[in-house]
Amino acid sequence: MYTKSFVITLFVALLCYSCNSQNAAVKNLNPDSFEKGIANSNVQLVDVRTPEEYTEKHIANAVNINVNDNDFDKRMGALDKSKPTYIYCLVGGRSKKAADWAAEHGFTEVYNLEKGINSWTSAKKPVVTATGKAPSEGMSFDDFISYIKNSNKQLVIVDFNAVWCGPCKLLKPAVINTAQKNTDKLELLDIDVDKNPEISRAMNIQNIPLLILYKQGKEVWRNLGLVDEKTIASKIAQYSK
């Protein structure tokens, strides 16, 4: 017959075992190991930051599922639990939360990027923007002009912005949505004015957000401040004729 103290001891032991083992499937990886892992085509790569952070830069082929959104459980749960799942955020805190959730909900292999995308970029690993291209940083004014003139698309829309700019963050989804709906004729160039000071000085950019639309290398429209997606789309339609 079990004594009361024995039952309590057994319960505590089981509880401790459960707490220590529930996240056993989560493996923390440094950037080199993480990069090697996601090179396999049979993996799921998840960026659990906000859409704004994801838009600015992310690891190529990552799907954005914000860990702090109300629908996180639903969207994360819709992934294939049998596939290796690689998760990252900015510095590692949010991705740990998401990785623990995945391990607790039946994902068989879960990998967390140590210290997040900050460690990834510090290790000189590649990132892309929402349009799938490398973010423009340190671009010279000559490179900027060459880019505009030599684009293989009929139109180029340049979004001048900055990470600290609230209106820029509000405008960005409309710009990205428009660009993604017009990929056959429009190219989006995202310019962070702080990371591209030479361009900012040469063009005397004093205020942001600023959109400039170019057609075959020549400016045809600009907008300073917020503007809705419908207006941007109408300008694309107007100048693509």
pLDDT by residue (tens digit) across 128-155?
A: 887 777 777 788 899 899 989 988 899 9
> Encoding tokens for residue 71?
């629908």
Mean pLDDT of the region 170-177: 92
**Neighbouring C-beta atoms of residue 34, cutoff 10 Å:** 25
Fold (topology level) of 24-122: Oxidized Rhodanese; domain 1 (3.40.250)
Question: Which architecture does CATH list for 141-239?
Answer: 3-Layer(aba) Sandwich (3.40)
**Nearest partner of 33 among 94, 114, 154, judged by Cα:** 114
User: Tell me, what amino acid is at 115?
Assistant: K
What residue has token string 């694309």?
Answer: 236
> pLDDT value at position 16?
41
Residue of 16, 19, 89, 165 marked active site:
165
pLDDT in tens, 61-77: 999 999 999 999 999 99
Q: Using one digit for the tens of pLDDT, what is the confidence trace for 185-223?
A: 999 999 999 989 999 999 999 999 999 999 999 999 999
Amino acid at 198: E
Residues spanned by CATH 3.40.250.10 within the chain?
A: 24-122
Q: Given 16, 19, 89, 168, which residue is catalytic?
A: 168
pTM: 0.61
Domain with CATH 3.40.30.10 in the chain: 141-239
* pLDDT band, very low/low/confident/very high, at 24 (cuts 50, 70, 90): low
Buried b (16+ CB within 10 A) or exposed e, 1-12: eeeeeeeeeeee
Distance CA 27, CA 46 (A): 15
- Range with lowest mean pLDDT among 80-84, 106-110, 143-147: 143-147
CB proximity list for 212: less than 8 A, separation 6 or greater:
157, 158, 160, 219, 221, 222
Mean pLDDT computed over every residue of the chain: 88
Our answer to whether residue 165 is catalytic in this structure is yes
Beta bridge partners of 218: 215
Give the position of tokens 């090697």.
Answer: 36
Catalytic status, residue 89: no
